[in-house]
Amino acid sequence: EAGVAQSPRYKIIEKRQSVAFWCNPISGHATLYWYQQILGQGPKLLIQFQNNGVVDDSQLPKDRFSAERLKGVDSTLKIQPAKLEDSAVYLCASSSVAGGHGEQFFGPGTRLTVL
């Protein structure tokens, strides 16, 4: 069974530029999560989808971050414009269980550096 795929693995941009990350969850997993993980900290949930609907985006900085999962499968997270403090690893995870109690399967992450 293929795992969660993410691309790119690494991205370096200058502040005020835009960037997009892509995630393809495990086939059949209805729940998809995007996390931001700053060095030395645990993952922080940005947005959670159930199929193509948003379940929780309370910690998503909506003035600059956006995410979509149009067909209920793969997803894109965008930052526009980027700030220095956005430097982090962006993790995508998926789960076959609706709700937060199921095991989450994580992708390798995208490491973003904002200069």
Partner 1 sequence: KNQVEQSPQSLIILEGKNCTLQCNYTVSPFSNLRWYKQDTGRGPVSLTIMTFSENTKSNGRYTATLDADTKQSSLHITASQLSDSASYICVVSPGGFKTIFGAGTRLFVKA
Positions that interact with partner 1 (CB under 8 A): 4, 40-45, 48, 50, 55-56, 91, 93, 98-101, 103-104, 106-109
Question: CA-CA distance, 26 to 21, in Å (whole number)?
Answer: 17
Question: CA-CA distance, 110 to 23, in Å (whole number)?
Answer: 10
CA 4, chain centre distance (Å) = 11
* For partner 1, the closer CB: 55 or 73: 55
- Owner of token pair 């904002």: 114
Compute φ and ψ for 86, nearest 5 degrees.
-80, -5
CB of 16 to partner 1, least distance (A): 28
CB of 56 to partner 1, least distance (A): 6
* For partner 1, the closer CB: 84 or 98: 98
* For partner 1, the closer CB: 81 or 102: 102
CB of 25 to partner 1, least distance (A): 12
CB of 41 to partner 1, least distance (A): 5
DSSP β-ladder status, 19-24 and 75-79: antiparallel
